Amino acid sequence: MRIDRPREYVVKKLRYAFNPASVAVVGASDNPGKVGFQVVHGLMRYRYKGKIYPVNNHADCIQGLRAYRSLKDVPDRIDFVFIAVGYDKVGSVLEEAVEKHVQVVAVATSDFKETGHAALQDELTQFCRNNELPLFGPNLLGLGNPYLNYNCGFTSFLPERGPVAMISQSGSNLVGALGASQLRHYGLSFFAGLGNKADVDFSELILFAKEDPNTKSVAVYIEGLDSPEAFISACKATVPEKPIIVIKVGGSKIGVKAAFRHTASENEGTCDADFDKIFECAGAIRMENWQEFLDTSMALGLQPALRGDNIVMVTNGGGSGLLSCDQFERRGMPMKELAEISGGLSKSLSPYMPKYWSSLNPLDLTGIAAPWQYEVAFRHCFEDDHVDGVYGSVCPAAVTDVPAITSVAITTHDKYRRLGKPFVMELQGGFECNEAIIELRNNGIPAYPTAEQAVNSIVALRKYYRIREKRK
């Protein structure tokens, strides 16, 4: 439901959703096929430090925990209530929650506006608003915070800790992001599914992310934007400090219908290009596809903004170099020749480089490049005042020492981090490169398996710099 602006009471109370002293799960169950089982299980599995109160009107014990017949029976103050009961029973649970002075509620239950029960959804939302009880959902997957071992939803696992706040209207894509985290350490500060997004709004979560100390970038997946003014205002307040990356779906003809059926999002009559304008005005960076959304939000979370176009690429693989050259130009940020960036660099590197290296840019160290030669190249680039950012690339030929180059990259990055120059890596290859990517990410370096992903991330770092400059 529409809001004119982010509401202060909501932003303030959100901390009870992401760090509650006590959680009640209404609809808690001992049946693993039930959402109410998975939520309790997820909370216990990661040893969440807060108290957990299963609520089930037929059971005294759920998964070994004392269970209660209703919220009212819980002999404690409850910060957060997760509701997973039939849609017709949600109303009475909300009434109890208000009586019990609960701080925030989340409704996992579907079968509201998306299946035709719009009036009921609006009525419950209005009830919550009248009582200043922020409501997540309905029709949501859950939320969590890996820094607090807090997993409250029907997701199988907690993601890795990291810099990105993931705010997703879709539960399935949220699960996709968590999967990327498990597979390749896409690190999250917190995550939230919003589902039908009846009450708690993107804008309010963005303002919450702005204050969250673990969050360095905010990723927002949107199916419908019913409160663009609130969104713009939250972004404008946040963007000077933290970058916001958005993906907006439902712009295609059939997508309009699918978005309504999925999260009751209304896109009828909207024009996709209008969203470009909204996001531009907000200072949010829009991505077109999911992979790029993940890749760039990570880069923006790990690295500083890129203050100029002078990127130097250091590679041992001419093919990665060429894919990068073309992709930079396609994205409107053509690479410059090294001579154009810095007159001295080629000369100062030359004595150390392999015989047939190319000093054009990409600096092609050729297939025989040794780790120490990477180190020299990285160091000279970081130390050269004309270089704005460094892009390292590794192709694992049989003579390439990938782990040693990875170490060199991490050490050099640590040493020069204070300079505020972005550093991004690309490693296309098999198991060894995959492990290197994970290690680099864990050490604050955005690393990717293809050249285009790395380039897109560098371009996003540059875009963010421009956005921030305009707003100074």
Give CA–CA dist 344/387, Å, rounded.
Answer: 11
For residue 318, the minimal CB distance to its own copies (Å) is: 3
For residue 316, the minimal CB distance to its own copies (Å) is: 7
User: Is the CB of 16 or the CB of 150 nearer to its own copies?
Assistant: 150
46, 157, 352, 416: residue in contact with its own copies (rule CB under 8 A): 157
Q: Does 453 bind its own copies (CB under 8 A)?
A: yes
User: Is the CB of 103 or the CB of 151 nearer to its own copies?
Assistant: 151
19, 29, 56, 168: residue in contact with its own copies (rule CB under 8 A): 168
DSSP 61-111: EETTEE-BSSGGG-SS--SEEEE-S-GGGHHHHHHHHHHTT-SEEEE----
Q: Does 143 bind its own copies (CB under 8 A)?
A: no
47, 58, 253, 472: residue in contact with its own copies (rule CB under 8 A): 253
Give CA–CA dist 303/462, Å, rounded.
Answer: 11
Q: Does 17 bind its own copies (CB under 8 A)?
A: no
Distances (CA, A) of 29 to 107, 121, 153: 16, 25, 13
Give CA–CA dist 350/466, Å, rounded.
Answer: 34
**For its own copies, what does the binding mask look like between residues 21 and 40, x meaning CB under 8 A?**
-----------xxxx--x--
Q: Does 192 bind its own copies (CB under 8 A)?
A: no
Contacts by 177-186, CB closer than 8 A, 24 or more apart: 177/219, 177/294, 180/294, 182/157, 184/434, 184/437, 184/438, 184/441, 185/160, 185/437, 185/438, 185/441, 185/442, 186/159, 186/160, 186/162, 186/294, 186/298, 186/441
Q: Does 149 bind its own copies (CB under 8 A)?
A: no
Stretch that binds its own copies, among 64-72, 120-128, 284-292, 405-413 (CB under 8 A): 284-292
Q: Which residues contact 264 (CB under 8 A, 6 or more apart)?
A: 112, 113, 114, 118, 121, 139, 196, 224
Give CA–CA dist 76/80, Å, rounded.
Answer: 12
Which one-letter amino acid corresponds to residue 458?
Answer: I
Give CA–CA dist 72/99, Å, rounded.
Answer: 8
For residue 116, the minimal CB distance to its own copies (Å) is: 10
Give CA–CA dist 247/262, Å, rounded.
Answer: 16
420 closest CA partner among 392, 441, 389, 393: 389
Q: How far apart are the first and last CA of the chain?
A: 33
Task: Give the tokens for residue 117.
Answer: 């029960």
User: Is the CB of 70 or the CB of 270 nearer to its own copies?
Assistant: 270
For residue 205, the minimal CB distance to its own copies (Å) is: 17
User: Is the CB of 34 or the CB of 236 nearer to its own copies?
Assistant: 34
Q: Does 156 bind its own copies (CB under 8 A)?
A: yes
User: Is the CB of 24 or the CB of 365 nearer to its own copies?
Assistant: 365
Q: Does 176 bind its own copies (CB under 8 A)?
A: yes
User: Is the CB of 273 or the CB of 398 nearer to its own copies?
Assistant: 398
Give CA–CA dist 191/146, Å, rounded.
Answer: 9
Stretch that binds its own copies, among 19-27, 66-74, 181-189, 462-470 (CB under 8 A): 181-189
Q: Does 179 bind its own copies (CB under 8 A)?
A: yes
Q: Does 42 bind its own copies (CB under 8 A)?
A: yes
172, 240, 347, 414: residue in contact with its own copies (rule CB under 8 A): 172
Q: Does 459 bind its own copies (CB under 8 A)?
A: no
Stretch that binds its own copies, among 62-70, 88-96, 228-236, 244-252 (CB under 8 A): 244-252
User: Is the CB of 308 or the CB of 319 nearer to its own copies?
Assistant: 319
Task: Give the tokens for residue 186.
Answer: 């896409």
Helix, strand or coil, per DSSP, at residue 18: helix
Q: Does 189 bind its own copies (CB under 8 A)?
A: no
Write out the binding residues for its own copies, residues 329-388 only, by CB under 8 A. Answer: 329-330, 334-337, 355-356, 358, 360-362, 364, 366-368
Write out the binding residues for its own copies, residues 209-238 only, by CB under 8 A. Answer: 221, 223
Write out the binding residues for its own copies, residues 397-416 only, by CB under 8 A. Answer: 397-399
Provide the 10 A C-beta neighbour count for residue 268: 11
